[in-house]
Amino acid sequence: MPEKTQPKLVFEELTGEIRQIAFEVHSYFGNGFLEKVYENAMVNRLRKSGLDVKQQATITILDFDGYTVGEYYADILVNDSIIIEMKAAKAIAPEHESQLLHYLKATNKKVGLLINFGSTRLEFKRFVLG
């Protein structure tokens, strides 16, 4: 009987690299800083690892007919494919998850990472839209 293999996750290697960098940032700074400190540290380290990183990237939100209805600023956009939403809260809340899922839907990006540096343990959630 052939051995079953696990399907490969979308951007698995890249999200693993981002996760490792987030752990390093959290280990160095701990919790207690404002979100912007963690965002700046992530951008610095992601760029040093050779990734294409846009900080506060403008993303246009379109209605069904292509009409621009607004824009938002992604905390971090990596390789024009992964949206990172940063938090420095006590815990990830359902509204944080909803926010990222809406960003993914509005931008047609497949993968989003929600990273919370505010708790004593780093919180990291990966979202994929089918």
Examine residue 5 and state whether it is found in any structural domain, yes or no. Answer: no
Place of tokens 């990172």: 84
Q: Is the pTM of this model over 0.85?
A: yes
Number of domains within the chain: 1
pLDDT at 111: 96
Task: Answer whether residue 4 shows pLDDT above 70.
Answer: no
Q: Is residue 113 part of a domain?
A: yes
Please report whether residue 7 resides in a domain.
no
Note whether residue 37 is domain-resident. yes
Any domain includes 87: yes
- Are β-strands 123-128 and 111-116 bridged in parallel, bridged antiparallel, or unpaired? antiparallel
Asked whether residue 20 is assigned to any structural domain, the reply reads yes
Range of the domain at 118: 12-128
Q: Is residue 3 a part of any domain in this protein?
A: no
pLDDT in tens, 77-105: 999 999 999 999 999 999 999 999 998 98
Q: In the numeric block, which tokens belong to residue 67?
A: 């009409």
- Asked if residue 1 is part of any domain, the answer here is no
